Amino acid sequence: MTPNQTAAKVLDGKWVRDQILAELKPRIQAITNARRAPGLAVILVGHNPGSEIYVRTKIKTCGELGIYSEKITPPENVTTEELLGIIEGLNERAEIDGILVQTPLPPQVDKYRVLLGIRPDKDVDGFHPLNVGKLLAHMPAPQACTPAGILDMLRRYKIPVAGKHAVVVGRSDIVGKPVAMLLLHHNATVTICHSKTRNLAEECRRADILVAAIGRAALLTRDCIKPGAVVIDVGMNRKPDGKLIGDVDPEAAKELASAYTPVPGGVGPLTIAMLMSNTVQIAEQHLCSG
C-alpha cells in the first residue's frame, strides 16, 4: 500500500444479511397475522454433504424468522418423474409459497424438466425461464438470490453503480448472467468475461466494479484489479488445507481495491438472506391475490 492510499473497505456480508433479515421480520408477522406464516419447501435429493449443510442453514433461518418450512428428502435413485410428482404436489398446496430444489441433482434426473416443473410464482430461486425472462425485461419477479444480494450490498454500502464500468467474470445462469443484467438495469456499462475471453487481465483492469464468479481459486491476480476498484468475489474454493479462498487473490484485493468482499463472510451470507426475502415477497403476492 502506498503512503497516500487508504485501506480497502471490507464489505461485510453478515452485516448486510442481518439488516435484510431484521427488515423481513415485521413483514413475516404481518403475513402471519393476515393468514398464516409464509411457507417454504426444500427438496434435498440424496446425501451430498455440502448440500446438507446448506439446507440445514436454510431450515434453521426459516425457524428463526417464523417462516414455516418443510424438508423433503427423496432417495439418491429418485427418477425425474418421481421428483416431478413431488413438485406437482407442492405446487398445489396453498400453504407452500416457495419451492426450492437443492442442487446438484443426481445424473439420472433431468434438471431442466425439474426447473420447468416448479410453478413460476413459487420459484424462490428465480431460475424458471419465465422469471429469467422477466429479469431480462426488467419486470417484477423472483430474482436469483446471489446476484440480488450483491446489488443489495452495493446499495447498503452506498457504492454507486450508475455510469460505472462493471466487469463480470463468469457467465453462469446462477450468478454471471443475472448479476450482469441487474448491473445493467442499475445503469452500469457491463462487460461479461469467461474462459474464452482474450486478454482477461486487460478487460478486468477496466472495471470500476469487478465481479468474480468463475469458480477458479485466486484466478484473478493483482494484474486484473484497477487501483480503487470495488471487488465482489463470489468464488468459494477449498484449498488443500481445507481453508476457503475466492476467485480473487485476497492480498491483491486488500492492496488495490477501494472495497472488497472477503471469502468467507462476504457474498456467502447474502444468498440465504435473499432466499428468505424471495419467500416473503412471494407470500405477500399470494396473500394479495387471495
Please say whether the beta carbons of 255 and 231 come within 8 A.
no
> Of the listed 97, 102, 226, 249, which one is catalytic?
102
CB burial of 263-289 (b: ≥16 within 10 Å; e: otherwise) equals: bebbbbbbbbbbbbbbbbbbbbebeee
Angle separating helix axes 145-156 and 13-34, nearest 10 degrees? 110
Using the structure block, give the residue that is written with the C-alpha cell 431442466. 112
DSSP state of 79: -
Provide the β-strand partners of residue 212. Answer: 169, 233
User: Among 123, 125, 208, 247, which one carries the catalytic annotation?
Assistant: 125
For 290, the 3-state DSSP assignment is coil
Active site residue 125: yes
* Residue 102 annotated in active site: yes
Contact (CB, 8 A) for 280 and 27: yes
Asked whether the bond before 106 is cis by omega within 30 degrees of 0, the reply is no
Q: What is the DSSP letter of 123?
A: B
Which amino acid is it at 282? I
Catalytic residues: 58, 102, 125
